[in-house]
Amino acid sequence: MTLRAEILQQPAVLQELLGTQMSAVMRVAAAVHAREIEYVYLAARGTSEHAGIYAQYILGAYNKLPVALAAPSLFTVYERPPQLTRALVVGVSQSGQSPDIVGVITEAQRQGAMTLAVTNDPDSPLARAAAYTLDIRAGVEHSVAATKTYTAELLVFAMLSAALAGDTGRVAELERVPEAARQALELEEQAARAAEHFREMSRCVVLGRGYHFATALEWSLKLKELTYIVADRYSTAEFQHGPIAMIEPGFPVLAVAPSDPGAAAVTALLSHLARERGAQVLALSDDEATLQAATIGLQLPAKVPPWLMPIVSILPAQLFCHHLTIARGIDANTPRGLSKVTLTT
């Protein structure tokens, strides 16, 4: 199956996940409530780490849980793991194979912490090492560049957050995500035109903040994997503490900037970059003022709550990357130097 086919599959994958896995998610939520969990310790790499960063924001905002991203080398290289007794220790991996992520879960299990695997393979070493497993049910992903497994991981964390809070209003919001994803895929033609506009770039920066930071990270990684563009990435706040010095006239800035409590500051920054610094700004947004501030705007579906927008906003970004490979004459299905399963220790 080609990359584009997997991108287009996402509304169906999300629908299936919602329809089949809510009970499993609720069992994990009940187990969390039965213990004195003080924080979450989350191990992941690459695309799955971006899903972990999404989890950091929503579990913090809606479940009051601080989330620490693991430093796997403490477990595998230095053999000096931290004490995780009061943590919910989560390993996220599409394949469930990477030894460093499995190593974190194995050690946490040894310490007696609550462990959870989020994976596309419930028979993987990661799933076998963890006490609880959530299956993202995305089906086999053939492309090296992850797309449907990413949005499925996001949705599992969104479901877990709603279940932990016992919030039926948020569960109802979840049920509208597959339709919003379908609408986001309708942006393909515009994404292809935007790719044509940016086809010559050799470097760029991708920006987002808060809930949308994960989308910026994931967009940047897709650009590197698929188009070999040096795509830097920052939260809009972090960007202003130094990296903004890189911007010169014509510099490409890709931004994820939907309606959000933080949107005003992001829009002001994009407007500054486009008008005063001469940057070429591509913005994903559902907000008219933000779209106007950009050089090119892609209009995201309306009325998606900010906490769920990351499951929707990455879709046109994936399509943009896919069309950039066509514009640049690259075969998206065989990225150079990569394989589907990376085994780092």
With CA atoms as reference, report the closest residue to 182 among 276, 311, 88.
311
| 119: contact with a second copy by CB under 8 A | no
The enclosing H or E element of 91 equals: strand 87-93
For residues 23 and 276, which CB has a smaller minimum distance to a second copy in the complex? 276
Q: Interhelix angle for 309-328 vs 177-185, to 10°?
A: 20
Q: Is 71 in the site for a second copy (CB under 8 A)?
A: yes
Residues 239 and 179 sit within 8 Å (Cβ to Cβ): no
Of residues 261-320, those binding a second copy (CB under 8 A): 261-262, 265, 277
Indicate the Cα dihedral angle 186, 280, 323, 205, nearest 10°.
-100
**Nearer to a second copy by C-beta: 12 or 237?**
237
Q: Which stretch binds a second copy (CB under 8 A): 42-50, 132-140, 166-174, 280-288?
A: 42-50
Q: Which of 60, 139 has the CB closer to a second copy?
A: 60
Least separation in angstroms between residue 177's CB and a second copy is: 20
Q: Is 340 in the site for a second copy (CB under 8 A)?
A: no
Please identify, using beta-carbon distances, which residue of 168 and 249 lies nearer to a second copy: 249
Taking CB under 8 A as the binding criterion, the range among 71-79, 129-137, 163-171, 312-320 that sits at the site for a second copy is: 71-79
- The CA–CA distances, whole Å, from 321 to 35, 225, 229, 318 equal 43, 10, 10, 5
Quote the distance between the C-alpha of residue 176 and its chain's center.
19
In this structure, is the dihedral angle defined by the CA atoms of residues 194, 236, 58 and 171, taken in order, positive or negative? negative
Which DSSP state fits 40?
E
Pick one of 15, 190, 295, 342: the residue that binds a second copy (CB under 8 A).
342
Q: How far is CA 45 from the centre of its chain?
A: 11
If binding is defined by CB under 8 A, does position 113 make contact with a second copy? no
Closest to 103 measured CA to CA, from 89, 86, 118, 122: 89
Among 243, 296, 327, 328, binds a second copy (CB under 8 A): 243
Nearer to a second copy, 150 or 320 (CB): 150
- Please tell me the distance from the alpha carbon of residue 311 to that of residue 40, in angstroms, as a whole number: 21
221 binds a second copy (CB under 8 A): yes
Whether the CB-CB separation of 54 and 310 falls below 8 Å is answered with yes
Contacting a second copy (CB under 8 A), which of 25, 67, 217, 255? 67
Q: Is 248 in the site for a second copy (CB under 8 A)?
A: yes
Tell whether the torsion through CA atoms of 223, 229, 232 and 235 is positive or negative: negative
Minimum distance between the CB of residue 278 and a second copy, rounded to whole angstroms?
12
Neighbour tally for 106: CB within 10 Å: 20
Binder among 22, 26, 31, 62 for a second copy (CB under 8 A): 62
Contact letters (x/-) for a second copy, 77-106, by CB under 8 A? xxxxxxxxxxx----------x-x------
CB of 11 or CB of 234, closer to a second copy: 234
Interaction mask 183-212, a second copy, x per CB under 8 A: -------------------xx-x---xx--
Reading the block at residue 88, the tokens are: 């919910």
